[in-house]
Amino acid sequence: MSTITLSHPESDHQLVVDEGTGLLTSVIYLGNSRKREVAISSEITLLIDGSERRAATGGLEYFDTTSIQDSKAISKPKQSVTNDGIEWRIEAKLGEPSGISGHAAHQCDPRAVAHGRA
């Protein structure tokens, strides 16, 4: 697995993402003269088709759905500077053959890191 490390020049944090999927694999903290790395297992599941109904215990339940779990990054991280720090977006396709478009958003500012998927 090949990875990409994302960092903010004023932060002690770094995000490590899988180059093939765009998903987060670890967070690194470089403060206090010591490197700490926490491995993270990330995956995405998209349910499509099917129907919904009221569940017996309340809320909704979904049935007859199709599950898509494969993610493929189709771009390198694109960096933009925001008021909250630096954000990287990695465009991705979910499912084959045509795929559903999405992106992973990773953010790092001088105090913290964040990850999201849309």
How does pLDDT run across 25-73, given as a tens digit for each residue?
Answer: 999 988 878 889 999 998 888 888 899 999 999 999 999 998 888 888 8
Query: Residue 118 is encoded by which pair of tokens?
Result: 């849309």
Whole-structure pTM value? 0.77
Q: Which domain holds residue 62?
A: 3-117
Domain count, the chain: 1
- Angle in degrees, CA 16, 98, 5, rounded to 5: 10
